[in-house]
Amino acid sequence: MPGRIAIVVNAGSGGQAPPDADALRRMFAQHGVDADVFPCGPNVAVSEALEAALEHRPACLVAAGGDGTVNAVAAAALEHDLPLGVLPAGTLNHFARDLDMPDELEAAAGAIADALASGRERRVDAATANDRLFLNNSSLGLYATIVVDRERQQRRLGRGKWSALLRATLAALREPEAFEVALEVDGRSLRRRTPFVFVGNNDYIVQGPDAGRRACLDDGLLSVYVLHPRTAAGLLWLGLRTLLFGTSGARDLDVCGARELEVHAGASCLKVARDGEVGELDTPIRFAVRPRALRVLAPPPGAAA
């Protein structure tokens, strides 16, 4: 029988009710796995929940929450060389989706328990910005501005997440602000004025119904997109055209793959988004990938196809 697992549950992910602790324990017990549940949220920091979870010396760490929660639990799993399980309990569940995890909690619990019992682990890449982890992507500029404004509206004005996000997006697109950056990409230099720098952990699909997904989580490369300056109307048209037809290459943005990236800017620090959470990082910002560094409990690649 596998050892006990620790589930860190974010009580506020997605603005919805968190998974019930007793229900989670029952889901795993049906598969012969004992689970301890550690909630975090408004009154308990995720770091406190993780500290309590690690005291139990679990066989693996499981994250039940959005991508920010998954990021924090994954960082602890990496530090302590533990496998990571992911339950889709957030709003968009980007990492769980790209792992081909089932959408339903009970089915996802079964997939984690099956992988744990069989000893079947996947190894996926972990990326960093100034040594801070991101599993999905990191960005500078437009998106970070939107997230900061959305959180301000939620905190000060009491708006819901989606209403605040829409208002913040429209405000940012009204006057998309470009900034000067110098990028060192695997030893090559690139100077640009841009409203948005996107760094993905692995290659992102940028066209069609699967746009925003990744077909592979272990190619050992960062995907780097540097957007050319645009008006508000130009950005909206670019987004629509990319979704339907793909980009037109050099006319729209610079695209490259890299193992390392260094971003220099005039400011001593910049707001940087990592897996949907925004914080300030000192410049230059050094992005890197750690190939196949993270152990995950998930279906085999392509199992959902």
pLDDT single digits (tens) 291-302: 999 999 999 876
How confident is the model at residue 146, as a pLDDT? 86
Distance CA 290, CA 135 (A): 11
Distance CA 122, CA 301 (A): 9
| Stated pTM of the model | 0.89
Average pLDDT over residues 80-105: 93
How confident is the model at residue 148, as a pLDDT? 87
How confident is the model at residue 223, as a pLDDT? 95
**Amino acid letter, 130:** N
Cis peptide before 176 (omega within 30 of 0): no
User: How much of the chain is in helix, strand and coil states, percent to nearest 5?
Assistant: 35, 35, 35
Q: For the chain, list the domains and their CATH numbers.
A: 5-120 (3.40.50.10330), 132-293 (2.60.200.40)
How confident is the model at residue 8, as a pLDDT? 97
Whether the per-residue pLDDT at 14 is higher than 60: the answer is: no
Tokens of 199: 């760094």
Number of H helices, E strands in the chain: 8, 16
Give the distance, in angstroms, between the CA of residue 213 and the centroid of all CA atoms in the same chain.
11
Q: How many residues in the chain?
A: 305
Q: What percent of the chain is modeled with pLDDT above 90?
A: 57
HSE-up of residue 52 (Cα within 13 Å, Cβ side): 13
Mean model confidence pLDDT for the chain: 88
Whether the per-residue pLDDT at 113 is higher than 80: the answer is: yes
Whether the per-residue pLDDT at 232 is higher than 80: the answer is: no
How confident is the model at residue 247, as a pLDDT? 57
Angle of helix 232-245 versus helix 161-174 axis, rounded to 10: 110
Whether the per-residue pLDDT at 225 is higher than 60: the answer is: yes
How confident is the model at residue 241, as a pLDDT? 57
Q: Choose among 90, 62, 123, 63: nearest CA to 290.
A: 123
Distance CA 158, CA 181 (A): 35
Whether the per-residue pLDDT at 35 is higher than 80: the answer is: yes
How confident is the model at residue 218, as a pLDDT? 96
Q: Any idea what DSSP says for residue 202?
A: B
The residue among 300 and 56 whose pLDDT is bigger is 56
How confident is the model at residue 149, as a pLDDT? 87
Largest CA distance in the chain: 59
Tell how strand 122-129 and strand 84-88 pair up: unpaired
Lowest mean pLDDT among 28-37, 118-127, 171-180: 171-180
How confident is the model at residue 73, as a pLDDT? 98
Whether the per-residue pLDDT at 131 is higher than 70: the answer is: yes
**Amino acid letter, 40:** C
Cβ–Cβ < 8 Å for 71, 135: yes
How confident is the model at residue 236, as a pLDDT? 64
